[in-house]
Chain A
Amino acid sequence: MTHCPECDAKVERNDKVLGEVFPCPDCGTELEVFGTSPFAVQPAPKEAEDWGE
C-alpha cells in the first residue's frame, strides 16, 4: 500500500505491475507504478488539455 501523491488517498498494489497506469480511487489522477518493492506511484505524464479559453 502507498498513498496518492495528489490527494493522499490509500492506494493498494493488488496485482499492479511496473509501469501500469491507473486512476486514483479518490481524485482520479492517473498514477503510474514506478516501483513494486516497495510499491510506489507517481502522477503519470499527460497532455495538457485545452478547455477552449
Chain B
Amino acid sequence: MKAAIVGGSGYVGGELLRLLVRHPEVEVAQVTSDSMAGKPVGRAHPNLRKATDLAFVPHSALRPADVTFLATPHGESLARVPGLLDEGGIVVDLSADFRLHDTAAYLQYYHREHPRPDLLAKSVYGLPELHREALRAAQLIAVPGCIATASILALRPLVAARLLDSRPIVVDAKTGSSASGQEPGPAGTHAERSGAMRAYAAAGHRHTAEIEQEVGVPVALSCHAVEAVRGVLATGHAFVLRSMDDKELWRTYRAAYGAEPFVRIVHETDGIHREPEPKILSGTNYCEVGFASDPHAGRVVALAALDNLMKGAAGNAVQCLNVRAGFPETTALDFLGLHPI
C-alpha cells in the first residue's frame, strides 16, 4: 500500500514517518512540506537519519496514493480533502476539520461555518475502541484530538454502564508542550514554558465538543500546560447515582476494554505506578485508563494517560489504517516504551 504524508515536517508528521517506514505493509511514497522541500526527512526528524532515503517535496507535487495522511494545521484539510476523496484513496485527517458531525458545534468552537457539511456526515471518528466496524469501510477518517482521546476513553465506560447522574462531568487535563505543535510562539519560549503549570484553557477548549459527541453527556473541560514534552493526563470527576466499589469499576472497565490491544486498565494496590501516568507511555500507542471510587464526594475519578503524539495522534492514525486495510491492528505499533525515562 502506497502512502503519502502531507505536512510531514511537524511533530505528528515525524511520528507518522517513524511508524510507517517500518510498517511491513506500507511504502511511504511521498512526504510533503513546503518549508522543508528538497531536504532529507532526517533534517526535520533527526531520529530518522539513515532510516529512509525520503526527502520532502512541496505540497504542489503531491500525487495520488492509496492512503493520504493529512498532518496539516486545522483548516487546511478543508481545502484538500474533497479532491483527495475524488481520487478514490483513503484519507486519514489528523486535523480537527472533520471530527464534529454537528455543524452548530463546529461553528461554536471553530468560529466559522463548515464549508462541507456533507463530508462531515461521511467522516468516521477515528477511535477504534468505539468505531471499529465503521472504520473498516471508511474513506475519510478523522483522527481525534489528544485530550479528547484520553477523556473519551476514561469516561465512556461509566456513561455506557449508566452509572452517572445528570450533572456534567468535570475533566481536568494536563498536556505537554509538543501538543501545541512546532510553530514558534511567545507561549512556547523556554522562558515562558519552563516550569509552567498554566491553565491555558480553563473553559471553552475545542476538544469539549468532541468529548461530548462521543461520550454523549455534558462535559466541563479545563486544560493545563505542564513541564513535559509529551503526554496527556486527563482526570475526570464523574458524579454517580450510587456508591460503588473497586470490583464493580473493574468489571465496568474490563467489559469495555478487556479485549482492546491498546487500552490498559491500571488501578494497582501496590508499587509506585498505581494509576495511569503518561511518562512511561512516551513513544507508545497505549492509553492507560484507571479509576478511583470516592463515596465521600459521590464521585468516581476516571483517569487516562497517553502520548499526545502517538495514541493522541500518529499512532492512533496508523491503528485506524490497520483496521481499515485489514492489517493486524498492532502492526508497526508494538513499541513498549522506556523505563526509566
Contacts and interface: CB of A to CB of B under 8 A. Distances in A.
Interface of A: 6-9, 23, 26-30, 46
B250 A28 contact: no
B265 interface: yes
Contact of B270 (A7, A9, A26, A30): A30
How big is the B interface, by class? 10 to 19
Contacts of B269: 6, 27-30
A50 B274 CA distance: 15
Contact of B250 (A8, A30, A46): A8
A7 B265 CA distance: 11
Contacts of B251: 8
Contacts, number: 31
A10 B64 CA distance: 50
Contact of A28 (B246, B247, B254, B268): B268
A8 B274 CA distance: 17
A9 B269 CA distance: 14
A6 B246 contact: yes
> Which residue among B265, B268, B271 has the maximum number of chain A CB atoms within 10 Å of its CB?
B268
Interface of B: 246-247, 250-251, 254, 265, 267-271, 274
A53 to B, nearest CB: 15
A26 B271 contact: no
Nearest to A7: B250
A8 B270 contact: no
15 contacts: A6-B246, A6-B269, A7-B246, A7-B247, A7-B267, A8-B251, A23-B270, A26-B265, A27-B267, A27-B268, A28-B268, A29-B268, A29-B269, A30-B269, A46-B270
